[in-house]
């Protein structure tokens, strides 16, 4: 099963791993999960909805990234996954 990543686990960044599956699963591991975990998950779900993606597994390993970093890492990982299937 193919999977792709974007980002790193350095401070103020996140690593997003994606792979095809039936349905949507979003897993968030974050150093600030208690404060922002649900917000991060909702940000990922909203991005997937805007891109009309319905069958994907997403793992976000967050080290304090801001929203636009999370979205850019997700979009990059999705694009890499798409390109690897061509």
**Number of domains, the chain:** 1
Model's pTM, two decimal places?
A: 0.93
Place of tokens 């968030």: 28
Confidence of residue 84 (pLDDT cuts 50, 70, 90): confident
Express each pLDDT in 33-64 by its tens digit: 999 999 999 999 999 999 999 999 999 999 99
Our CA angle for 19, 5, 34, nearest 5°, is 90
Q: DSSP of 19-71, one letter per residue?
A: E--SSEEEEEEETTHHHHHHHHHHHHHHHHHHTT--SEEEEEEESS--HHHHH
How much is the average pLDDT of 14-22?
97
Q: Which domain holds residue 48?
A: 3-84
Mean pLDDT rounded to a whole number for the chain: 95
């Amino acid at each position: 099963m193919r999977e792709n990543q974007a980002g790193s686990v350095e401070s103020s960044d996140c690593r997003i791993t994606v792979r095809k599956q039936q349905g949507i699963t979003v897993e968030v591991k974050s150093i600030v999960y208690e404060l922002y975990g649900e917000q991060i998950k909702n940000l990922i779900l909203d991005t997937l909805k805007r891109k009309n993606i319905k069958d994907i597994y997403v793992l976000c390993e967050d080290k304090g990234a801001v929203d636009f970093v999370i979205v850019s890492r997700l979009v990059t990982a999705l694009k890499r996954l798409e390109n690897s299937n061509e």
